[in-house]
Amino acid sequence: MFLCYVLKTASHPFFLHNPFLYNFAVDYGGSSQKRETGTCHRVTRAGNSEGERGRKVTEEKSHRDKGRRGNIKERRKGIKEKYEVEDECDEDAPKRMKNRDNKKTRKNEEGEKSKRKTKIKNVKEGNDGESDDVKWGRSKKKEKAKKKKGKQELVEESSESESFSEGGELPEKKEGFTQEELEQLKEAVDEKRKLIITLKGKPWPMRKKLVTLRESQQFLEKYEGALGKGKGKRVYACKVIVMKKWMKFQRDLENFKTACIPWEMKIKDIESHFGSSVASYFIFLRWMYGINLILFGLTFGLVMMPEALMGKPYGSMPRKTVPRGEEGGAMDFAVLWDFGGYAQYSVLFYGYYNNQRAIGWLKFRMPLSYFLVGVGTVAYSYMVVIRTMARNANRDGGGDDTSFNFSWKMFTSWDYLIGNPETADNKFASITTNFKESIVEEQESQKDDNIHLTRFLRVLANFLVLCCLAGSGYLIYFVVRRSQKFALDGLENHSWWERNEVNMVMSLLGMFCPMMFDVISSLENYHPRIALQWQLGRIFALFLGNLYTFIIALMDEINRKRSEEDAVKLNMTAWEAGLYNGTSVGNASGPVPVHPADVPRGPCWETMVGQEFVRLIISDTMTTYITLLIGDFLRALFVRFFNYCWCWDLEYGFPSYSEFDVSGNVLGLIFNQGMIWMGAFYAPCLPALNVLRLHVSMYLQCWAVMCCNVPQERVFKASGSNNFYMAMLLVILFLSTLPAIYTIVTIPPSFDCGPFSGKNRMFDVIQETLETDFPAWFGKVFSYASNPGLVLPFILVMILAIYYLQSTSKTYKVANLDLKKKLQTQNEENKKKNKKAALKAAAELEEAKNAATCRQETECGESGQDRDITTSRQDRDITTSRQDRDAPSQQLSRGKASVNPLFPGLYTEMHLTGKQIRIPHIKRRAQQFLVVVKQMHILCAFALL
Amino acid sequence: MVSPAIALAFLPLLFTLIIRYRYYFVLFYRAVLVRVVQDFLTGLSREERAFQYVLTHATPGNPDSILDAFDHWCSKVEFISNIGPKKGLVLDRLLRENSPLNVLELGTHCGYSAIRIARSLTIGARLYSVEMDKSNALVAEKAIRLAGFDDDMVELIVSTSEEVIPKLKEEYGVERLDFVFMDHWKRCYLPDLQLLEGSGLLSEGTIILADNVIFPGAPNFLRYVKRSGLYKCHMHRASLEYIRGIKDGMAELIYLGAK
């Protein structure tokens, strides 16, 4: 029952609970949050010392009432006059109507207030209190009327309360204030502040809340400045104004900052519609975009730009010229689309770069820069991923989440960022089904019949998946081999399909195999979370297998190219000799100007690798977008518009709208990044392409999600999965740097293309720099430092340090857990103690009540109505909105505090409606008890935090 | 010319589709293929075959036994889209809880749901069952009589629903309907509901139960019900009768009275 109630209240008025939206509303009203929070603290503190304050208020009240009663008549006269004035000026009639409505609300407020203050004369006091409060509104109106009509004489006629209000508005005239009036003003201001804070919890419609909020804020703005004393008044007023301006400025700055975060609003929008799991994908995408932007900056700024600006221009060398044979079709779109022709002989690829040590007037060390950027991008990626992982790991804290399983589910399953009713419904449904499932699970954990069938099915499913993986791996291998055959034949003899077979097949397999895994996994009957992990693991294996098959095939290709290169080298010497002979015969002066396009050249395997990766990325991107358009958009169009004339329900039934596949998309992104890391060394344009792709897919996917996807049936939380993604990213990073580093270290670079041509290995560039650009002693130091005798101890020390740090962090974790447990036990103890105290207090209260009724009966004749002392509804500030109204107000006299048995800190409130209590010490007891309860609540809140 | 390797890459998609929509294939096989073949072989209609099976396997005068026989035939032998035993429980519960006096059933088919409703009716209650197809109505009549319900209890009206509903008041003397069960053409749900509203037969608290609102589905009907505000709508989610994997649901509407 309680569960249903919580869920209902949670799902329906979510914008009332939502602190973000509420703050927004407050902002809209034009007040500063700071003030609000400030007052909030104040009031809670006041709430803590409720006992003393309550008594004080009573005394003050009774004292003041004596003085006030004399004024009532005068004031009433004043009010009457004011009404007359109001009737005269009908211009702002609608406003007045509104104000009268508000009067009602204030009356409610006042009702509570008057009860709390334990006044002696209930009826009169109620009226008085009301006039006391309403007065402010009226006097404001009076002010307006006065300004409009210019009836100055009314000021003299009106009662002192009016002049007082005037004084409130104009601080200069405030000299005439009496202490009492200041007191009243202060009280009214306090009242308004309290109203603003407790507004969230009022069971009113939103519009009314907004109106009340705005009016209270206006009131506060008007009169808050008048509260200072003596000379300090103006300073105080100034201070308040400056503070407000400052706050407003700060808030605007915050808003501006939020507006500066790219796509923040878009992501928030999606989050509100689809829950945080979908949003986590987009946040991940944005993060990836940031990283790629930096990689792009590095490669573009340090490699591509210098080469384009300061390196030798196009056509000056053989490696920078399209060979004669390809010149005819070098500008065709089909060739450019395959990154051949002019695109191949440009800064986009490795082969274009020259091995000149320093280029341009800056003496830019190009080969060194190329090498360092290649290493630096990978190192930077490692650093960022590991740092993010560490930060995320700090955030989850650790601990056993398995205890209090149901409590966690009950109190933490709601996603407060959802702002769309449909998603809220889905979430509601998913929570209920989740509960049902976990209850069933709990029941079935004891009896697990037919375990053999499930085991068999699981083995079968895994077998099927393995078959699928092997099949896809073989298919890719087969296709790559075939493409090599095509390449030997010459690509021009084959169709587009055959030329792009590898990429097509890889993309298609990457698209359809996960679907198949998803279908197969329904055999296994796992819990959805575990099923999701299996699914992710399988897709990971598939992608990895595909990628590595591709790389192995590429390795074969590289070896082939290298043997070809050797042949070319031999031919080259022959060609040069022939050229030399020819020229020596003709004219003997100097070398012959041979056009660089005619010079024979090696195959340049580095450029080939870069091209392959670029093609792969392009085809992958295209497949993603096309799937998006066909699978999501066209399907959504079909479902939406053919539903009018179809024999079954398309929206609910067979095709339905698609859901956003978080796991598949995340994995796609991760593998895409892996390919970038792998290929970026041989194709410096890859980060730029990836930035472009991510940018487009951000917009496209945002649009597609909002336009043609439906929220998932099981909306699950994203928290905790982020680190999982990061871990996968790290694995992929490692696995993708592995082949890149292998090729760099083991294979000698091509002899006639790229920045390292002519060197034995690519990393020789460092040695070269050390020898030529640094002083001799530096080289010596470096050679000593790289001595294994130094390096090995260093590594040893590092390992020891890592071990030490890890063990200390483990100890801290354990200590944290212990503390957590301690807090929990303390909590339980407090709960028990509290229960005991409540029972005791209740018993005494019962006694007191009996006594009081006895006495009442005897006193009945004497003191008439003087005796109603009611303490009622001591609203707690912790309470969230609707519980206020809905929760059964349990009377203390029945000995039950409405402490939620499961979670005392969360939805609790005390309704003290002990009626007709006269005996003070019982009250004090109750108040002490209240204080204890409140302290306990605060403790629990801390524990929760 | 598309290379065979690319075609092979579509294999997982094919398998996925086959596995994911296997229940629909099963349904297609049982509801269409088997029916066509059997029609050709026996020369009888599907309903007549079902009735023959029931006649030979059930105890006359015992509605439970007849329903069981129907269920067995529909799940094991061939397929007829009756309400089925699982969704039937919801129907039984609603009837038992509300004990309606005047019940209207749209779409008798072969009498399964009529027997089911009549079984749970109180004494003095009356079921008007509307069937459009004459041969089906004959079978249904026989089945209902076999179950032991006479003309006072179950009245079979052979006509289309849009003709019957306006005439219910005059010709059949129905003052108000307490319970309406819809299981005929899904396309007719909405017009018939509007006819019922217009005829004044619905009164506050009348329950309307519509079967198969998700598969094959009546989207317009549901949309109208949700928008009109005349009904309190509750969805009973279940699977399609006699086939496990296809989701289906029944919509239970409670008429809140004309505005």
A358 Cβ partners below 8 Å, 6+ apart?
A364, A365, A366
Among A512, A519, A653, beta carbon nearest to B10: A512
| Average pLDDT across chain A, whole number | 72
Q: Are B50 and B110 in contact (CB under 8 A)?
A: yes
Average pLDDT of A371-383? 93
Q: Given its phi and psi angles, is residue B258 left (phi above 0), alpha (psi -120 to 50 degrees) or beta? A: beta
Find chain A residues with C-beta within 8 A of B11's C-beta. 471, 512
Task: Give which of A571, A756, A625 is closest to A681, Cα–Cα.
Answer: A756
| DSSP single-letter state for residue B179 | E
Contact A519 B217 (CB under 8 A): no
In a domain, B195, yes or no: yes
Average pLDDT of A150-169? 41
Q: Looking at chain B, which residue has its C-alpha nearest residue A647?
A: B216
A–B interface: beta-carbon pairs under 8 A = 81
- Look up B151 and say whether it is catalytic: no
- DSSP assignment of A709-741 equals EE--SS----TTHHHHHHHHHHHHHHHHHHHHH
Contact B3 A497 (CB under 8 A): yes
Can you tell me the distance from the alpha carbon of A16 to that of A829, in angstroms, rounded to the nearest whole number? Answer: 34
pLDDT of residue A717: 53
Average pLDDT of A695-721? 78
Please give the residue that has the higher pLDDT: either A141 or A379.
Answer: A379
In a domain, B92, yes or no: yes
Find chain A residues with C-beta within 8 A of B1's C-beta. 495, 497
pLDDT of residue A499: 75
Q: Looking at chain A, which residue has its C-alpha nearest residue B8?
A: A475
How much of chain A, in percent, has pLDDT values that exceed 90?
16
Average pLDDT of A715-731? 71
R_g (Cα) of chain A, nearest Å: 39
Find chain A residues with C-beta within 8 A of B13's C-beta. 511-512, 515-516
pLDDT of residue A686: 93
Poorest-confidence range of A498-502, A914-918, B10-14?
A914-918
pLDDT of residue A412: 77
- DSSP assignment of A16-62 equals HH-HHHHHHHHHHHT--HHHHHHHHHHHHHHHHTHHHHHHHHHHHHH
Question: pLDDT of B194-233, one tens digit each?
Answer: 999 888 888 888 999 999 888 887 888 888 888 888 898 8
**DSSP-based three-state secondary structure for B158:** strand
Q: How many contiguous H segments (helices) and E segments (strands) does chain A have?
A: 34, 2
Question: pLDDT of B82-125, one tens digit each?
Answer: 888 888 999 999 999 988 999 999 998 889 999 999 999 988 89
Residue A509 to chain B, least CA–CA distance (Å)? 6
Q: Which domain holds residue B212?
A: 84-255
Question: pLDDT of A516-561, one tens digit each?
Answer: 888 888 888 777 667 777 888 888 888 888 888 888 888 888 888 8
pLDDT of residue A267: 86
Q: What angle do CA A247, A252, A258 make, to 5 degrees?
A: 130
| Residue B203 backbone phi and psi in degrees, to 5 | -130, 175
Beta bridge partners of B106: B130, B182
Total number of domains in chain B: 1
- Look up B183 and say whether it is catalytic: yes
Among B10, B12, B217, beta carbon nearest to A653: B217
Q: How confident is the model at residue A228 (pLDDT cuts 50, 70, 90)?
A: low
In a domain, B201, yes or no: yes
Q: How confident is the model at residue A702 (pLDDT cuts 50, 70, 90)?
A: very high
Find chain B residues with C-beta within 8 A of A508's C-beta. 6, 9-10
- Residues of A near B (Cβ–Cβ under 8 Å) read 468, 471-472, 475, 478-479, 482, 495, 497-498, 501, 504-505, 508-509, 511-513, 515-516, 518-520, 643-644, 647-654
Domain chopping of chain A, boundaries = 182-260, 264-397+426-444+469-578+597-755, 797-846
Measured from the Cβ of residue A129, the count of other Cβ atoms closer than 10 Å reads: 20
- Look up B48 and say whether it is catalytic: no
In a domain, B217, yes or no: yes
Beta bridge partners of B155: B128
And the tokens for A136? 């402010």
In a domain, B174, yes or no: yes
Contact B6 A651 (CB under 8 A): no
Name the pairing type of β-strands B154-158 and A709-710: unpaired
A113 Cβ partners below 8 Å, 6+ apart?
A129, A191
pLDDT of residue A369: 92
Q: Given its phi and psi angles, is residue B180 left (phi above 0), alpha (psi -120 to 50 degrees) or beta? A: beta
Contact B15 A516 (CB under 8 A): yes
- Look up B241 and say whether it is catalytic: yes
In a domain, B68, yes or no: no
CATH number of the domain residue B132 falls in: 3.40.50.150
Question: pLDDT of A487-516, one tens digit each?
Answer: 777 766 777 777 778 878 888 888 888 888
Question: pLDDT of A5-44, one tens digit each?
Answer: 433 433 343 333 433 333 333 333 333 333 333 333 333 3
